[in-house]
Amino acid sequence: MSSVIDGKSVAATVLEECRAEVLELKARGINPGLAVVLVGEDPASQVYVGSKVRTCGDLGIHSQKIVLPASTSQEELVAVVRELNADPSIHGILVQSPPPKHIDEEAVVRAIDPRKDVDGFHPENVAKLALEDKTGFVPCTPAGCMRLLAAAGVKTAGAEAVVIGRSMIVGKPMALLLMAKGSDATVTVAHSRSHDLPAICRRADIIIAAVGRPEMVKGDWIKDGAVVIDVGINRIEDPSKKSGYRLVGDVAYDEVAPKCSAITPVPGGVGPMTIALLMKNTLQAARQLGSATS
């Protein structure tokens, strides 16, 4: 019988750590601030932004929500970012993804001061992650996955880990974290075009599924006792639901769970960790910028 890794519970622990750190920073005269920029009216993005702002309020972190029309130009968005770069009350800047199609998201990320890039996507922070420089920011979802593995007591040293997915948001930083000193896993980065992906997965002690395909990872891909972290969040049609859909991960949970020693559910696994680690990164930025300016 597999152990279900409760992301909500672990995220709650992280947020309590953040709450204590906010008080410590304020005692030193540093009031942490996060700016979230939303371009357009994508409903899912509105929900995510609202959740981030509410979490800031709950922890006592100053938040600034900037909503721009979908017609906002690249130049106008970059100008907003530059204003936030120069604002001493803002320590973290996040431009909600995805922006409208006419916006060059990579250029916007590069415009963010890397010291305020709490998403961890700026090239300078990517380089710091590769170099294991702790002053950089780790992307929130991979950092959350590492925290879940630790909370579940999973020993990564010497383990064979397979990361399915090679995005800069999850796959590549996840692989770097698993390879880093202290984690010491043997890592294979696979993807949907890898030859004989099921055979690759059957070798794994740890699988991180972040490929963005609903229920792609099947039960016969998993060796007995493996640990599975499911990063995927996919909507599939379900007429029995009032909404007309249900959320599933990249893993066929009912098939995979019986073979695992531990597994994350969807929803309630990795998802809650992303915002919790965003708060952690914001406080790291406040601590580093506060120290730099004090």
> Of residues 96, 113, 116, 172, which has the active-site annotation?
96
- Catalytic residue flag (residue 134): no
Please identify which of the residues 52, 116, 172, 280 carries the catalytic annotation. Answer: 52
Q: Around Cβ 58, how many Cβ atoms within 10 Å? A: 12
Single out the catalytic residue among 113, 116, 117, 119.
119
238 in active site: no
What CA–CA distances, in Å, run from 229 to 145, 152, 163, 256? 7, 11, 10, 11
* 116 classed as catalytic: no
Active-site residue set: 52, 96, 119
